[in-house]
Amino acid sequence: MKNFIIITIYLLTIINAGEKLPFNIGEKLIYDVSFAGIKAGKAFLEVLGDNKNNNSNEIHIRFTAKTSFPFSSIYSINDQIDTWLDSKDLFSKRILKSINQGNYSKESETIIDNKNFISITNKDTTNIEGYIYDPYSLFYVLRTKPLIIGETIKINTFGGKKITPIQIITKSEEVINTIYGSFNCLVVKPFRKGSTLLKNKGDMMIWFSNDKKKIPVQIKIKLQYGSMLLKIKEINL
């Protein structure tokens, strides 16, 4: 088998019928957040189900990030992103964002109509092809995939305005020490060919536990003026 395997978006969405997901409704992961080595706040990844519509065909995921004092006195963050995923293939169906960073605030809702190949964010319509994934769903989509060192996955991500093709490579294996002990992790790097993943030369690395659960133990986001580190503090499975 070739060392370099590209899995297309269609292959990426395939999950064998009846195969149990590595996460359950009620899972909650809590992270300590630091910026340039300074404690900055907390972040949460939660699997909530879908109580609003009682729709068994969807999984409701929530990401929350909040700064704490004294960092919040310098720059305040209070973000919440809710995303609803297809319960089988985990493609995005709806994205609800509440972004509050410093003096900037924005609310948005994206509805993805996979039957008519369009997405609607507030009143803006975007044509789509095939299944798409919002960036926050990747923390769960990648947990369902074999992560093999040296192999690359291709996927189309969508933040609400445009589709961004990215690649995800499993780079190496590394031990991460936490309050729960040491985790043997697979180091995964999402990237865009010929460009950085995020704006202003930003980048990201994710450390997934090398076991059946593939818990995102650590997330490092490189920004223009420093690096933000999310390290697991509490695991509720």
pLDDT category of residue 12 using cuts at 50, 70 and 90: very low
Task: Give the mean pLDDT of 63-81.
Answer: 94
Q: What is the pLDDT of residue 37?
A: 87
Count the helix, strand and coil residues of the chain and give each as a percent rounded to the nearest 5: 10, 55, 35
- Ramachandran angles phi, psi of 203, nearest 5°: -145, 170
Quick check: is 98 in a domain?
A: yes
Quick check: is 91 in a domain?
A: yes
From 210, 211, 216, select the one nearest 233 (Cα to Cα).
216
User: What domain range is 163 assigned to?
Assistant: 6-230
Quick check: is 224 in a domain?
A: yes
Task: Give the mean pLDDT of 105-110.
Answer: 94
| pLDDT tens-digit map of 41-63 | 999 999 998 655 555 589 999 99
Cα 49 off chain centre by: 17
Quick check: is 168 in a domain?
A: yes
Task: Give the mean pLDDT of 155-180.
Answer: 90
Quick check: is 237 in a domain?
A: no
Q: What's the structural domain count of the chain?
A: 1
Quick check: is 27 in a domain?
A: yes
Instruction: Give the predicted TM-score (pTM) of the model.
Output: 0.86
Quick check: is 158 in a domain?
A: yes
Separation CA 202–CA 200 (nearest Å): 5
